[in-house]
Amino acid sequence: MKILIDTANVEQIREMYDSGVICGATTNPTLIAREGREFGETIREILDIFGDEALVFAEAVSLESGKMVEEARELAKLSPKIVVKIPMCREGLKAVRALSREGISTAVTLVFSPAQALLAASAGAAFVAPFVGRLDDIGADGLGVVKDICDIFKAQNSSTQVLCASLKQPYQVEQVAKAGAGYATIPYGALKMCFEHPLSAQGIDMFMDDWAKLQKEIADK
């Protein structure tokens, strides 16, 4: 499963890119607004962090398909790394179909059911983004939706990729990986938690202590 970071904060993106575990970043209007900076400037700075193999997701904010297509064309001009996020709605899928014909890569976001994912794939989306955390937050089965989407795409031999989103905890990352999702985008805090386990820290300390004791014993001989 390929990992992306779910933030528009360039310091967090740079830190995690340097850690070697992410292949890109996902943004949305809320994440962009949280940084309080101009959209294009933020996206261009994020693009500069990554190498050519990366994926940077930037969301269209229009709600009419023609305007979404225009936005997507402008975003796509920034870099081949750009994937344009389009919200799951009738106008959105019209835009996805048009953009697919132009070779512009799209991710249909705010997906909450396998039926929505199926329609998005049918429209030509390169990615669908089921929101696991928001489903779990209303007592629905976010993982179950991801599993069903993965099963459907596999049964249909679909080329559309599943980008799991709205992930809050490491266990959700583990579960969607088990379900077979190709991509997961993880917020900075949850990504940091994925690195950490108390036994790892404890084990490193023990190894270092024992190594230091040995060096002292050798030096004292």
Question: Applying CB under 6 A, which residues contact ligand E4P?
Answer: 6, 26, 28, 109, 129, 131, 133-134, 165-166, 185
Closest to ligand E4P by CB, 124 or 142: 142
Tokens linked to 118: 């199926």
Give 177 or 200: the residue with its C-beta nearer to ligand E4P. 177
DSSP helix, strand, coil percent of the chain (3-state; round to 5): 55, 20, 25
Is 69 or 167 the residue whose CB approaches ligand E4P more closely?
A: 167
How many Å apart are CA 35 and CA 17, to the nearest integer?
Answer: 19
Active site residue 77: no
Rounded Cα distance between 97 and 81, Å, is 20
Report in angstroms how near the CB of residue 4 gets to ligand E4P at its nearest: 8
Nearest to 7 by CA among 21, 26, 29: 26
Shortest Å, Cβ 129 to ligand E4P:
6
Give the residue with the Cβ less far from ligand E4P, 120 or 199.
120
The CB-of-212 to ligand E4P minimum distance in angstroms stands at 43
Residue 160 vs 166, nearer CB to ligand E4P: 166
Q: Supply the minimum distance, in Å, between the C-beta of residue 68 and ligand E4P.
A: 16
What are the angstrom distances between the C-alpha of 151 and each of 90, 190, 199? Answer: 24, 26, 35
Strand partners, 6: 26
> Catalytic one among 81, 85, 147, 168?
85
Q: Closest distance between ligand E4P and the C-beta of residue 169, in Å?
A: 12
Interior angle at CA 183, CA 178 and CA 188, nearest 5 = 100
- If we measure between CA atoms, which residue out of 61, 62, 108, 67 comes closest to residue 85? 108
Helices (H) and strands (E) in the chain, counts: 11, 8
* Alpha-carbon gap, residue 166 to 124, rounded angstroms: 23
Q: Which residues carry out catalysis?
A: 85
